[in-house]
Amino acid sequence: MLERRRLDRAKAAFATRRVDYARVRTLLTGDIRPHSGDIVLARVDEIGKQARLELASGRRAVMFPGDEILVAYGNRYAPDQYEAIVGLDLAPCDLVAAGGVAAIEIARHRRMIHPTRITPIGLAADAEGRRLNLMDFRAEASDALPRIPAILSLGTSMNAGKSLAAASMVRGFRRLGHRVAALKITGTGSGGDLWIVGDAGAELAADFTDAGFPSTYLVAIPDLERAAWRLMNLAAETGCDLAVIEIADGLQQLETAALIRSEAIRRVTLGTLFSAYDSMGAMSGVATLREAGHDLVGLSGRIGLSPLGVREAEAATGLRYFSPWHLQEGGLVPLLRERAAEKLWAAPDGMADALRRLAGPLAPAGGAPASRHRRGSAAGLPDGAVAGVRQVLHLVAGFIVEADLRRYLPAEGEAAAPGGAPSRRVQHRIWSSGLGMIHVLVPRLAQGTYRPRFLGQVLAPDLVLSVIEGLGQPQGDGALRRLVVMLGGAEFERIDLRPLRAGIAEICERNGLAPRAEDERPALTIDQLDLFETGEEAGEDGFGLVVGGEGRHGHAATNETGWGETGWDDPGWDIRAEGDGDPADGASHPLLPGGAYAVQGG
């Protein structure tokens, strides 16, 4: 029988943090073959690379020869440190990870010294003598199809920047109001990455050790797939909308190479962010992931230390580089919101609610879910359009600031507006638009503070592109006015947009952004417009809208969360309301699924 006092004195490693040591009553010794995940009481013989043991609390405890430690057997794969496997018996072995993994070293990086040497004393067992394994203490959750989507953080190798990219994405989603989980589904037991994502604001931070694995090297792929789904469902139970999932090591590592081709993983993924050291690694990795069927959303990682490397990588891959700071400001949110909206049309069972939460609350006004053909080099923009679109946004921002400024300047004989007239000084502000950083100069007020409303807005790419496309149509100010009103406020509903429209046209011509010609599809004149009460489709507070004409018809139901249950007899038609158009621009507008419409009635 194992003395409780001896067990309490032993230093318990991070990898064993879920173990209930009250169940450990005996030690198994003798001719026993250990298995991955078995808990072992061991003695420290010789200090090597691992001079400190990471405890469950995260504290790194100094080890001394003669100390007794509680660790778990497991295999390790780390190109810049060790390869190690579980031995055939309880003979002396190595502590190959400071998080508490015991194995026999079979290879090491040339810069590494030998690992800390340990001697197993015995395997932890319960009162009946049954050996205890980390799998006995795993988190309990369903391994059915997850109810929340994921975004993957992959990279060229260890230390490419995957963990920082994952933590930055967590911060960006949390900053914009989402409850997000951070999961690491492969690697070797260590708490460092979990502490970072927890500090970034993850609602749940968990890894493969929570699924019962001390490490994932040589674990069967179906077991890893089930573990990933189990952790995602655990996150869903805590109320998370999204899981940011990191897969360790590079794309050539045994398990990673299989997981990137796993249909079970791709099925629940909205997109993949790839971290690289250099442009060649970025180009090769992106090609590998695209061949495997991944939908990439951008680049990140240590390549960002080199502006020229970023330029090469963006040119070679057609993807945009996202710095950690841009990710932390929510730079990926507009694109992921678009992906969530698209996936809603064919959502896996049980995932629709999470996708709606992800897409709906942050979706700016501007129409139906974006089409896939519009995705390109940056946040869903076509290749070559990035610079021009940012110039358009810079012009729109300046237009709004100038109009706001006129409201602060008193007319002749009038008093100044509240807050005082602007001073001669200006201040620099950065607008994280979701389509890049827009640098704006705003005036300082003599009293108080002026902050443009648009500084808190993020945009979907299609909203800006619709402005450009509208320039080629006879009455194309509708999209432009909606953009300006959304960014500046209701006071812009009747402002003269002709100077702004002319400036945007000039930018488009200079950057080769040709506006789309008027759509040649026949318009359908509405001769029926009915409002009906609906409970099942939209809830008690909802209403339905039916339109019809020339033998075509459609229907939609809505409530405060947005449109749902849409169905159209012929989605190839533009259904236009003739006569009473938008009072702001006098134009008629398509009535399409996903749009937002105001209905008045007596």
Q: Classify burial at 135, counting beta carbons within 10 Å of its beta carbon; exposed 0-12, middle 13-18, buried 19 or more.
A: middle
Amino acid at 428: H
Closest CA to 37 of 101, 129, 122, 117: 101
Three-class DSSP labels, 85-113 = ECCCCCCCEEEEECCCEEEEEEEECCCCC
Q: Count of CB atoms within 10 A of residue 502's CB? A: 10
Question: Residue 379 domain-assigned?
Answer: no
Q: What is the pLDDT of residue 514?
A: 62
Helices (H) and strands (E) in the chain, counts: 15, 25
Same domain for 212 and 352, yes or no, is yes
**The pLDDT value given to residue 540:** 45
Which pLDDT score, from 0 to 100, does residue 239 have?
95
Q: What is the pLDDT of residue 16?
A: 97
Amino acid at 254: L
Whether 183 and 72 share a structural domain: no
Report the DSSP pairing between strands 150-155 and 528-533.
unpaired
Residues 116 and 90 in one domain: yes
Q: Residue 386: which of 439, 428, 434, 429 has the closest Cα?
A: 434
Domain count, the chain: 4
Spatial CA neighbour of 383 closest among 391, 372, 394, 375: 375
Is 300:161 a contact under the CB 8 Å cutoff? yes
How does DSSP classify residue 268?
T
In a domain, residue 331? The reply is yes
Write the DSSP symbol of residue 215. B
Q: Read off the DSSP letter of residue 517.
A: P
Q: Give the pLDDT confidence score for residue 55 in this predicted structure.
A: 97
Full-model pTM: 0.64
Residues 417 and 451 in one domain: yes
Same domain assignment for residues 244 and 154: yes
203 and 229 inside one domain = yes
Report the C-alpha gap between 602 and 600 in whole angstroms: 7
Measured between alpha carbons, how far is 559 from 539 in angstroms, rounded to an integer?
A: 7
The low-confidence residues of the chain, meaning pLDDT below 70, are 345, 360-387, 408-426, 428, 430, 432-437, 446-448, 456, 458, 460-462, 471-476, 514-602
Note whether 154 and 99 are same-domain residues: no
Residue 117: in which H helix or E strand, if any? strand 116-125
Residues 478 and 583 occupy one common structural domain: no
Give the pair of three-digit tokens for residue 107: 């290879």
554 within domain boundaries: yes
Residues 55/12, Cβ–Cβ less than 8 Å: yes
Token pair for 187: 């690697």
Instruction: Report helix, strand or coil for 455.
Output: helix
Domain end, chosen from 511, 537, 555, is at: 511
Which three-class secondary structure state does DSSP give residue 134?
Answer: helix
Nearest to 360 by CA among 341, 336, 342: 341
173 part of a folded domain:
yes
Residue from 320, 6, 347 nearest 148 by CA: 347
- Pairing mode, strands 93-97 and 101-108: antiparallel
Last residue of a domain, one of 474, 493, 511: 511
| Residue after which a domain boundary falls, among 331, 363, 395 | 363
Contact 358, 406 (CB under 8 A): no
In this structure, is residue 17 part of a structural domain? yes
| pLDDT score recorded for residue 468 | 75
Q: Name every residue whose Cβ is closer than 8 Å to that of residue 113 and which is 6 or more positions away in sequence.
A: 48, 49
Same structural domain, 218 and 192? yes
- Give pLDDT, residue 410: 55
CATH of residue 321's domain is 3.40.50.300
DSSP 429: E
Quick one: pLDDT at residue 27? Answer: 97
In a domain, 371, yes or no: no
Q: Are residues 78 and 162 in the same domain?
A: no
C-alpha pair distances (Å), 491 with each of 356, 402, 433, 486, 488: 30, 13, 21, 10, 8
> Tell me, what's the pLDDT at 519?
44
How confident is the model at residue 581, as a pLDDT? 40
Is residue 293 classed as helix, strand or coil in its secondary structure? coil
Contact 484, 400 (CB under 8 A): yes
CA 181, CA 329: separation in Å to the nearest integer? 17
Q: Between the CA atoms of 360, 366, 370 and 375, what dihedral angle is there, to the nearest 10 degrees?
A: -110
pLDDT at 339: 82
CB-based contact 210:18 (threshold 8 Å)? yes
Q: Which domain holds residue 316?
A: 150-363
H/E element, 554: strand 552-559
Q: Which residues touch 217 (CB under 8 Å, ≥6 apart)?
A: 74, 75, 76, 77, 188, 254, 255
425 shares a domain with 334:
no
Whose structure tokens read 């300047």? 409
Residue 463 and residue 480: Cα distance in Å, rounded?
A: 9
Q: Facing residues of 123 across strands?
A: 28, 40
State whether 124 and 161 are in the same domain.
no
Short-list 166, 151, 434, CA closest to 275: 166
Domain contains 381: no
Give the HSE-up count for residue 60: Cα atoms under 13 Å, Cβ half-sphere.
Answer: 9
Residue indicated by tokens 């960006």: 172
Tell me, what's the pLDDT at 385? Answer: 65
In a domain, 144, yes or no: no
